[in-house]
Amino acid sequence: AQSVTQLDSQVPVFEEAPVELRCNYSSSVSVYLFWYVQYPNQGLQLLLKYLSGSTLVKGINGFEAEFNKSQTSFHLRKPSVHISDTAEYFCAVSAQGNKLVFGAGTILRVKS
């Protein structure tokens, strides 16, 4: 079975500062990895995904993530955040069938 650990429940950061949201996973087989974002009072939307190929994946809104197989990590980064990036971010892993297993989420709070 797969599992996902998001190491930080909340990350406060000032506007225009860089941010990294951490995600580690466990799986005995190859996985696909995803980051979803949930803005207040909205559903989740896909931010980016790693399926194969280049380990550095670029997503929407200037976010990127790097797949590190040896460290079983898929950390999300953005070099300069905006107030509008305030949201909850979920890391997810999929291996068997279509079932996505999600982490507990990280709330990113961008302060001016």
**Of the candidates 51, 56, 60, 83, which one interacts with other proteins according to CB under 8 A?**
51
Q: Examine residue 77 and tell whether it contacts other proteins (CB under 8 A).
A: no
Q: Examine residue 104 and tell whether it contacts other proteins (CB under 8 A).
A: yes
Q: Examine residue 90 and tell whether it contacts other proteins (CB under 8 A).
A: yes
Q: What is the C-alpha R_g of the chain?
A: 13
How many residues sit in the footprint of other proteins (CB under 8 A)?
A: 26
User: Which tokens belong to 14?
Assistant: 């000032």
Q: Considering the complex, what minimum distance in angstroms separates the CB of residue 43 from other proteins?
A: 4
Residue 55 per-residue DSSP state? S
Distance CA 39, CA 52 (A): 28
